[in-house]
Chain A
Amino acid sequence: MMSRRLLPVLTLLCVIAAVGAACGRGDGKPATIKVVIAEYSRDHTRPFWQDLAEQYTKQTGIKVDLQVIDWNSIDQQVSTMIQNNQPPDVLNLNSFSSYAKDGLLYSADEALSSKTRDDFLEAFARGGTYKDKLYGFPILASARAFFYNRDLLERAKVEPPRTWDDLVQAARKVQALGGGVIGYALPLGPEEAQAEWSIWMWNNGGDWKSGDAWTINSDKNVQTLSFLAALANTHRVTQVNPGKTNRTDGAFQLFKDGKVGMVMGFSPLAAQLDAEGKVHYGVTQMPTNVGTPVTLGVEDYLMAFKKKGNQEAVRQFLDLYYQPEQITRWITAEGFLPVTKTGLARMSGNEKLKPYLDALPSARLAPTTDPVWDKVKLDVQQTIGLAVQPGGDPRQVLDRLQKNAAESGR
């Protein structure tokens, strides 16, 4: 008896819960927007966005479902949201073009005020463009720089290297100090191999693409990867198994421990080194094999997802973030670089950021505007390390990457 009444009631309850969550209010304005942000640091990310969300709710009456997700699982969680047809309204990620390609996003014309649109630095706006429209709104940037341990270089009696030949010599002398000291820490493990590789590639005159065609296995790139393999296996001036070393808990950890002469780092590493105060370090330009040093600029994005009735709500949220005092407050706290003209004006006096700001003009971005890049990046992460292991074959590895990239593009 009971059950016959109970079942419909239960069903009804479920339906009510589901509909309530999905539909929101009927007056064209959503009750809540979902904002998904990657966690750049424990200390600053959530507090900033929490505060921004509260201001937003006060202004608009719209609640914010804020989700701060760590970098290790954000790809997976966002993918699951989209599979289940529950995409975020605003998403922060290090890629955007696949989402633009799938037609999930508002363009800048639809989601940003003209004042915000015009404030982006030219290069970063270009880096967020897919098919002539801006879909990946720059949220912050970083640039790599060459870090060296002053004490170790002094003991080895070498200057910070300017060329690749200098680097080999310097690394040899540092490594020769003995006692487990490492000349150059080379992280080509899966975590961020594409970043390390990009810098080496560009400083030998190679590139990912030429025009619309991928050029991953160009002769120059084969030469570059062979050079890295030689650093590891012929000169033996890197840490053990560089193809199987990650950046954060591998190369950076060793540098922070004072065991490494040189490494490619970025401003958050500097912040950690300053906080620990253990290593006396210097920051300079990348060593180059072709004359002009090039560094890697990395731009992360905010995206606005097309959902029925959310356009105005999303625009208000983004405009709030892009107010100069908001975006600058956050970027400064996290130790990254500005992406807007007003931000650059405000931050250019910051002494600590000087080496990175100086490097910005020579910084290049990975080809993030091509959706194929999202796969190439993962492919590079999972394979390039194999080329610098003993017995690895640089040409074979690059040929394969090239083949996969060309096929994905079709």
Chain B
Amino acid sequence: MGRALLWLGPSLVLIAAVVIYPAVELVRASLGRYSITGLYQGAVGLRNYGRLLEQEALPTVVGNTVTWVVLVVGITIVISLGLAQLLNAPFPGRRLVRWALIVPWAASLIMTSKLFVWLYDYYFGLVNRALVAAGLLRGPVDWLGDDATVMGAMIAVGVFVSLPFTTYVLLAGLATIPGEVYEAARVDGASGWRAYRAVTLPLLRPALLVAAVLNIIYVFNSFPIVWTLNDRNPGMAHDTMITYMYKIAFKSALRDVGLAAALGVVNVGLILIAVLAYLKVSRWREEPV
């Protein structure tokens, strides 16, 4: 027992310090009332949770969050399936392409987001210049200011930065599929698309599950992209739960740490429910067919 504790000790201390302590603090903060300066002014029980439900912006923000997570994760996985297949096939320069794919992953999210702010710019941006030159647009579009395009512009960046990780997870999954099963499929007369659907996809399921679950968590919690691309827009019309939480705490007239903490607790709960629901729907316990 003593020896086991000794081995486990460092990780237990680490878990206590970086997981349990902040979680406890978050719950505690959500039960308190704070002045605009951050000064604690006493306990209020569950009142912050009740007030959260009265917030006018909440339905919009929840809707935005669902759109953001579902589309970013969905599009990322579809594109990554293609990319992984491509990178799994031998071709000259494959190593180089594999390396290049890591770049958006290695760059800081804030830097990437700032870069996209300039790319999307109405007056200076390359996106408008390219699309107008190609004849796809008649005039420039204010991608980050026009209510109709902000979410799409953010989703494109979200997909861009999620591709590397997802592709590598799927690539690792592809590497575990033995060549024999394809031989067998060929013998049975299945090839091309048919083989992909009947052999590759089912065998990729463990990798797909990992990619989807981790991406749901990352994308839901993603702050820098939405914050940076949306910082010019007043109000909460394009916020997700995470940036909304930050605005409640520091950037809106509410300026309320307790209310923001309550939303933080709700966020953790929501992400747990979302992941469990996804695992249930995809029947993760079943062995691949």
* Residue ranges of A at the interface with B (Cβ–Cβ < 8 Å): 1-4, 6, 10, 75-76, 78-83, 98-99, 101-102, 104, 180, 188-191, 193, 239-241, 243-246, 249-250, 254, 257, 259, 371, 374-376, 378-379, 381-386, 404, 408
B135 CB-CB contact with A under 8 Å: no
Which of B124, B145, B257 lies in contact with A240, CB distance below 8 A?
B145
Say yes or no: B37 contacts A375, CB within 8 Å: no
Which of B9, B29, B144, B253 lies in contact with A378, CB distance below 8 A?
B253
Say yes or no: B251 contacts A3, CB within 8 Å: no
Say yes or no: B35 contacts A102, CB within 8 Å: yes
- Count B-side interface residues using an 8 Å CB cutoff: 36
Instruction: Report B-chain residues with C-beta under 8 Å of the C-beta of A104.
Output: 37, 39
Instruction: Report B-chain residues with C-beta under 8 Å of the C-beta of A382.
Output: 234-236, 247, 251-253
Mark interface residues in B218-241 (1 if CB within 8 Å of A CB, else 0): 000000000000011111100000
Which of B144, B146, B235 lies in contact with A386, CB distance below 8 A?
B235
Instruction: Report B-chain residues with C-beta under 8 Å of the C-beta of A385.
Output: 233-234
Instruction: Report A-chain residues with C-beta under 8 Å of the C-beta of B40.
Output: 83
- Known contacts A3-B5, A104-B37; is-contact A244 B234 (Cβ 8 Å): yes
Which of B2, B124, B145 lies in contact with A244, CB distance below 8 A?
B145
Say yes or no: A243 contacts B255, CB within 8 Å: no
B102-129 at interface with A (beta carbon < 8 Å): 117, 122-124
Instruction: Report B-chain residues with C-beta under 8 Å of the C-beta of A249.
Output: 117
Mark interface residues in B139-176 (1 if CB within 8 Å of A CB, else 0): 00010111000000000000000000000000000000
Say yes or no: A6 contacts B9, CB within 8 Å: yes
The count of A-to-B residue pairs whose CB atoms sit within 8 angstroms is 115
Say yes or no: B234 contacts A241, CB within 8 Å: no
Could you write out 10 A-B pairs with CB less than 8 Å apart?
A2-B3, A104-B37, A190-B234, A240-B122, A241-B122, A241-B142, A250-B232, A257-B124, A375-B253, A379-B253
In this complex, the member of B3, B40, B232, B252 whose beta carbon has the largest number of chain A beta carbons within 10 angstroms is B232
Give the distance in Å from the alpha carbon of A382 to the alpha carbon of B230 in the complex: 12
Say yes or no: A244 contacts B233, CB within 8 Å: yes
Nearest B residue (CB) for A397: B234
Give the distance in Å from the alpha carbon of A259 to the alpha carbon of B40 in the complex: 48
Which of A246, A375, A378 lies in contact with B232, CB distance below 8 A?
A246
Give the distance in Å from the alpha carbon of A246 to the alpha carbon of B117 in the complex: 13
Which of A6, A254, A386 lies in contact with B6, CB distance below 8 A?
A6
Say yes or no: B235 contacts A83, CB within 8 Å: no
Give the distance in Å from the alpha carbon of A328 to the alpha carbon of B40 in the complex: 38
- Known contacts A2-B6, A189-B233, A379-B252; is-contact A83 B123 (Cβ 8 Å): no
Say yes or no: B252 contacts A99, CB within 8 Å: no
Say yes or no: A75 contacts B250, CB within 8 Å: yes
Give the distance in Å from the alpha carbon of A7 to the alpha carbon of B96 in the complex: 50
A297 to chain B, nearest CB (A): 23
